[in-house]
Structure 1
Amino acid sequence: MPEEKSHSVPVWLTKDFIQEKLRVYFKDDSLKLEKLGINPAIGNGENYASVMTRINVEYTTKDSKSKKLTTNFLVKTTFAEKDPAAHVLINYGVYTREMDMYQRIIPKLAELVKTEIRDPRKLFAGTVNVDRKTNSIIFEDLSLEHYMVASRLKKLDLEHTHLVLEKLASFHAAGAVLVEREPGIVKENYDRGFYNRHIRGYEPIMTNLLRALSRSLNLDEELRQRYKAKIDRLVDRVMVYGERSTTNNPGDFLTLAHGDLWTTNVMFQYDGQGHPINVTFIDFQFCVWNSPAIDLHYFFSTSIHDNLYLENQLELIQFYYYKLVNALKKLKYSGHVPSLFDFQLQFRMRAFYAVFASLIFEPLMLYNGKEEASLEQIISEKASGQRFKDDIYQQECVRKKLHLTLPFLEQWGLLDEM
């Protein structure tokens, strides 16, 4: 596993701070926080855009009669301003956007799914507190209900994939209907995904990783001869092609897309036989008003078994599409619903999203080496940063996958000039 960075605890994350928030959440001014435990919630390499902390609280109330009550919550905070990653991310509005999602949007989406789609299963973690002064969010710890994150290394089989697509269709349908009923609710700050027309803060990340991919191809003569020149040309065009792939066109079905949908951002609940019975979505920093196709490309390219990714995309889109149409009908959506044929075309028009997701982000997501995994390392030109980037593409699993991914993308025409 990657070496762990020391977990930095924010100075404001104190007993007094948590006690104040819990008194509001539980609507009980008698609540007294007796003990606060603080631990990292995720490992190195599993999140590149924030700090996740699990807090264990012991508290009493007047009704508990001095009996200590215990529970856990998760606290999500931004990187410190001195971290180079913060300067990349802050201009995308990711921190304020996620706070807005948990404070205003997610409760409304959850209510639509529960009452109108009539799916009682949890779709998101409940919001405990959003604090804009500290740029922090406190929400339910879903592990208490036996939810768990799937392995980013093993990825998802068909059973898990179908469940994600079913719930994703509900999420997308609810997002489209919410905006139809409340025009302007996502007007501010929901137009800046990884690719957009406003900022190119991710450009050094994209280009540095593509250059590392190009260097890795020198270690494989077959791949070098066939693909190195194409990858080298892509370095200078990755942002243009990416922006083109996320440009909304007249007639497109648009909704609130998750924007960063991969294994670490979904949590599964299982029955006694080990079958997944529900999935919830987490991490809403890159939610964006766009085509649902970007979520599908990103998810397929990073999170499902190779045979599903390479052989079953059309039928997975069909599965998702019928779930989406059914959810939109239950919500009485009055906008234009594309035919399956038109939706497949919309998916095809966003296909470059699969290039950056599979060649740039997926190898990073699969990283399991010894180097420190961080955005700072990707941006850095120091020796440690170069080692990390080269190590990403020299992993055996990544080198094997390139023999599948590169021909697949090339057959779609996605590595040629566009």
Structure 2
Amino acid sequence: MANDKNETETLKSVKEEYITEVIEKEFGKNAKVKKIEEVLTSGAGENYASDLHRIQVDVELEDKTETTVSYIYKAMPNSEFGGQMLKAMNIFPREIEIYTKIIPKFEELYKEAGKTVRFSPKCVFVAPGEEAFLMEDLKPKKFVNAKRQIGLNIDQVKRTLEKLAEYHAASVIVYERDGYAATYIEGIFKEEIMKPMLEMQKSLMNIYIDCLKQNENVQPYIHKMLKMLDYGFDKFLDAMKVNENEFNVLNHGDLWCNNIMFQYDDNDNITETYFVDYAAAKYGSPSQDLWYFLLSSCEKSIKIDKFEYFVKFYHDKLIENLKLLQYTKELPKLLDLQIQLLKNSLWAFSTVQGLLPIILVDPTELATMDNFMDTGDAGMKFKIMSFSNPRYLDALEELLPWLDNKGIMD
């Protein structure tokens, strides 16, 4: 769900009978599909792990009046290498289960507690035998993304953390009652998937370091980054393990600004916040979502300056919602959360080193899953563009000393 390219083409991504079934379910058996158009929704660099299409449908209702509705069709990306990796990660069955089974449980918990909470657009159809599904389109309800290169302002960050705290609190109650399938305990980054990814990353180390050397204020930290990259595999696998003696939640797993949508009123006040793209959902420490979100998606001016404030704001909201949902175990203390953040600080480094470059890069046709993973000419060009981006180097200039002062890069 990102900015439209405003290109319309004939239907080719989704079968017409799927659309007909959805329309009849929403408007009745006598509704007729008059016209279907497919609009590409994701510009270059806005979405890597799936293909997104807006499906616009002209419908004749039983009383002969007409209306237009739209849906988002999400499918496996048409990429050779990236598609294979995503299939191995089993991301579509996981995400479909989140939308159709787990999120409804969360929302029902709040309904029973007397609070109306919605987390996401609704999944309206799952394509049988395919890794694809249709979702409610949020554009008609005036939901939008923030610009990823700029990041979120204080109000947007607080609204996101408020929703995240609601999501995490509900996830704790559901885990205590029903548990989660093994796929959410293990996560998508299994050893057999991570090993080739990290080997590829090591092969790019010289290029990455050469790009970093362009900023003299980053140079003093290069030797520590090399050390982190060298032994990061084992530490990353350790970070994925669940410590049952600590407070755990179902993390969103990929919470950055393109997976957060805001609805505004006529005075530009945020009225609602939804999350999308739950493919990387992982049970474990909430520090995963906090590091990932706060370091990837806050505006540069507040990322460090307001970090501790944001952590406390999240914790306050988490406790508020755990009490509302009548959590019976000991409530997690702010100190416990701060300790978890330090213990799981590899999420901070991996976000800054692996995610931030592709978030801050300018739109480019080179920004594809295949180029993200490949070491061919186009892939290398995209990586150099990302690593040498002045916006990224400026971010490192502030983030690396801050991480180092916390002991995270030792």
Task: Output the CA distance in 2 between the equivalents of 1:398 and 1:257.
Answer: 26
Picking from 282, 306, 318, the partner of 1:324 is 318
Q: TM-score, normalised by structure 2?
A: 0.91
Which runs of structure 2 are paired with 1:352-367 in the superposition (5 Å)? Answer: 352-367=346-361
Q: Which amino acid aligns with 1:105?
A: I
AA aligned opposite 1:57: V
**In 2, distance between residues paired with 1:7 and 1:385?**
28
Match in the other structure for 2:22 = 21
Matched, 1:61 2:95: no
Q: Deviations over 1:14-56 (max 9, x none)?
A: 3233112332x32622222110010111211011100111010
> Distance between the aligned counterparts of 1:56 and 1:386, measured in 2?
37
Whether 2:179 is the aligned partner of 1:217: answer no
Distance 1:26 1:308 in 2: 44
What displacement does 1:122 show?
3.1
Residue 74 in structure 1 maps to residue 69 in structure 2: no
Change (3 A) 1:7 1:182: farther
Spell out the pairing of 1:196-345 with structure 2 (5 A cutoff): 196=190, 199-200=193-194, 202-204=197-199, 206-207=201-202, 211-224=206-219, 226-345=220-339
Counterpart contact for 2:106–2:171, Cα < 8 Å: yes
Residues 241 and 212 from structure 1, CA distance in 2 versus in 1: closer, same or farther, beyond 3 angstroms? Answer: farther
- Counterpart pick for 2:170 among 154, 174, 187: 174
CA–CA distance in structure 2, aligned partners of residues 141 and 202 of structure 1: 33
For residue 121 of structure 2, what is the aligned residue in structure 1?
125
Which runs of no fewer than 5 residues in structure 2 stay unpaired?
none
Q: Are residues 356 and 221 of structure 1, via their aligned partners in 2, closer, same or farther at CA, if it must alter by over 3 Å?
A: same
- Aligned-partner Cα distance in 1 for 2:128–2:331: 37
Q: 2:92 aligns with which of 88, 91, 95?
A: 95
Q: Confirm or deny that 1:346 pairs with 2:340.
A: yes
Deviation at 1:298, TM superposition (A): 0.3
Q: Which amino acid aligns with 1:260?
A: D
Amino acid at match of 1:176: V
Within 2, Cα distance between the matches of 1:368 and 1:154? Answer: 11
In the TM superposition, residue 181 of structure 1 has moved relative to its aligned partner by: 1.9
Output the CA distance in 2 between the equivalents of 1:108 and 1:208: 44
Please tell me whether the aligned partners of residues 121 and 278 of structure 1 are also in contact (alpha carbons under 8 angstroms).
no
CA deviation vs aligned residue, 1:261-280 (integer Å, no higher than 9, x gap): 00000101112221222211
**DSSP 3-state at the match of 2:261:** strand
Cα 1:250/1:182, change in 2 over 3 Å: closer
Shift of 1:247: 2.5
Aligned CA distance change for structure 1 residues 27 and 133 (closer, same or farther; 3 Å): farther
Distance 1:8 1:352 in 2: 44
Structure 1 position 212, deviation (Å): 3.8
State the 1:113 CA deviation: 2.8
CA contact (8 A) 2:35 2:59 kept: yes
- What is the TM-score of this pair, normalised by structure 1? 0.90
Which one-letter code corresponds to 1:223 in the other structure? V
Aligned with 1:381: secondary structure?
A: coil
Distance in structure 1 (CA, Å) of the matches to 2:318 and 2:247:
11
After superposition, the CA RMSD in angstroms is: 2.3
Structure 1 range deviating more: 167-176 or 10-19:
10-19
Contact 2:186-2:241 at 8 Å conserved across structures: no
> Does the residue aligned with 1:191 lie in a helix, a strand or coil?
helix
Q: Relative to structure 1, is the Cα distance of residues 216 and 137 closer, same or farther in structure 2, using a 3 angstrom cutoff?
A: same
Q: Over residues 176-203 of structure 1, what are the superposed CA-to-partner deviations in whole Å (9 max), with x where a residue is unaligned?
A: 11122223xx223113446445641543
Q: How far has the Cα of 1:348 moved from its partner?
A: 1.7
Identity %: 26
What amino acid is aligned across from residue 98 of structure 2 in structure 1? M
Assess, with a 3 A threshold, how the Cα gap between structure 1 residues 20 and 12 changes in structure 2: closer, same or farther: farther
Residue 397 (structure 2) aligns with: 403
Cα distance change of structure 1 residues 172 and 21 upon mapping to structure 2, 3 Å threshold: same
**Contact map agreement 1:78 1:136 (CA 8 A) in 2:** yes
Look up the match of 1:164: 160
Q: In structure 2, how many angstroms separate the alpha carbons of the residues matched to 1:161 and 1:206?
A: 30
Does the 8 A contact of 2:248 with 2:286 survive in 1? yes
